A and B are shown apart, each in its own frame.
Chain A
Amino acid sequence: MELQVEKPKSNLFKIYEIISTMASRPSGLIGLTILLFHVVLAVTSPLYAPHDFKAIDPSLMLLPPSSEYWFGTDSLGRDVFTRTILGGRTALTVTFFGSIIALLWGGALGIFCGLVGGRIDDVVMRIIDAFLSIPWILAMLLIVSLLGTSTIVLIPALGFFYGKGIVRVARAATHDVIAKDFIVSARARGHGNLSIIWNEILPNVRDAIMVEGAMRWSWMLLGFSSLSFLGFGVSPPTPDWGLMISNARGLMSFAYWAVLAPIVGLSSLIIGINLTADAFAKALGIDRSTKAPV
Chain B
Amino acid sequence: MKYMLKVFSATLVSLILSFSIANASSGVFKLSHDLGFGKDTNLDAITKGRLFQVVIMTQNRLVRKNLDGVTSPELATEWSANADATEWTFKLRKGIYFHDGSAFDAPDVKYSLERVKDPDIGSPAKKSMSSVTDIEIVDAHTVKMKLNTSFADFPLLLTDYRLRMIPEGSGDTIGQTGIGTGPFMVDKFDPEGTTVLKANPEYWEGAPGVAEVHVIAIPDGEARVQALLTGQIDMNRYVPFSQKRIFDNNPKFNVSVVPTGNWRGMVMRTDTAPFDNPKVRKAVRLAVDRQELVDLVMGGAATVSCDTPVAPSDQYRLKMDCPQNVSKAKNLLREAGYPNGISMTIHVSTKEPTWPTIAEVMQQQLAKANIKADIKMTPSKSYWKETWMKKAVAMTRWNERPADSILHEAYHSGAKWNESFYKSSSFDKNLADARGQLDFNKRKAAYQNAQKTLWEETGTMIPYHVSKLVITSSRVKDLDDVEVFSIQWHKLKVD
Contacts and interface: CB of A to CB of B under 8 A. Distances in A.
Contacts of A253: 245-246
B245 A235 contact: no
B350 A231 contact: yes
Interface string B333-374: 000000000000000111000001101110110000000001
A54 to B, nearest CB: 6
A232 B363 CA distance: 17
Interface string B291-307: 01001100000000000
Interface string A147-179: 011000000000000000000000000000000
A254 B377 contact: no
Interface string A35-59: 0000000000000000000111010
Contact of B296 (A77, A145, A149, A249): A77
A251 B349 CA distance: 19
Given A56-B364, A250-B246, A76 B357 contact: yes
Interface residues of B, number: 26
Contacts of B378: 145
A232 B378 CA distance: 8
Contacts of A236: 356, 359-360, 363, 375
B364 A75 contact: no
B242 interface: yes
Nearest to B360: A236
A40 to B, nearest CB: 29
A74 to B, nearest CB: 10
Given A236-B363, A251-B242, A58 B292 contact: yes
Contact of B246 (A55, A77, A254): A254
A250 B240 contact: yes
B227 to A, nearest CB: 13
B189 to A, nearest CB: 28
Contacts, number: 60
Interface in A212-256: 230-232, 235-237, 247, 249-251, 253-254
B246 A231 contact: no
Contacts of B379: 141, 145
Contacts of B192: none
Interface string B364-400: 1000000000111111000000000000000000000
Contacts of A251: 242-243, 245-246
B375 A54 contact: no
A61 interface: yes
Contacts of B375: 235-236
B377 A58 contact: no
A61 B296 contact: yes
B292 A250 contact: no
B374 A249 contact: no
B346 to A, nearest CB: 10
Given A61-B296, A75-B357, A145-B378, 14 more contacts: A54-B364, A55-B364, A56-B292, A75-B242, A148-B376, A149-B376, A231-B356, A235-B375, A235-B376, A236-B356, A236-B363, A237-B364, A253-B246, A254-B246
A54 B364 CA distance: 8
Nearest to B364: A56
21 contacts: A56-B296, A56-B361, A58-B292, A58-B296, A145-B379, A148-B376, A149-B377, A231-B377, A235-B376, A236-B356, A236-B360, A236-B363, A237-B363, A249-B222, A250-B222, A250-B246, A251-B242, A251-B243, A251-B246, A253-B245, A253-B246
Interface in A235-294: 235-237, 247, 249-251, 253-254
A55 B222 CA distance: 25
Q: Indicate the member of B242, B349, B375 with the most A CB atoms within 10 Å.
A: B242
A76 B293 CA distance: 10
A148 B378 CA distance: 10
Interface in A74-98: 75-77
A259 B242 CA distance: 14
B225 interface: yes
Interface in B219-250: 222, 225, 240, 242-243, 245-246
Contacts of B295: 58
B222 A76 contact: no
A41 B428 CA distance: 59
A239 to B, nearest CB: 12
A222 B105 CA distance: 62
Most buried by A among B349, B359, B364: B364
B405 to A, nearest CB: 33
Nearest to A141: B379
Nearest to B222: A250
Nearest to B350: A231
A237 B361 CA distance: 9
Contacts of B357: 75-76, 247
Nearest to A52: B364
Interface string A84-121: 00000000000000000000000000000000000000
Contact of A250 (B243, B361, B377): B243
Contacts of A75: 242, 296, 357
Contacts of B222: 249-250
Contacts of A231: 348-350, 356, 377
B33 to A, nearest CB: 20
A77 B296 CA distance: 8
A56 B360 CA distance: 10
B293 to A, nearest CB: 9
A251 B357 CA distance: 14
Q: Identify the interface centre among B225, B296, B375, B377: most chain A CB within 10 Å of its CB.
A: B377
Contact of A230 (B364, B376, B377): B377
Nearest to B356: A231
B359 to A, nearest CB: 7
A54 B357 CA distance: 13
Contacts of B349: 231
Contacts of A148: 376
A186 B242 CA distance: 69
Contacts of B292: 56, 58
A7 B79 CA distance: 106
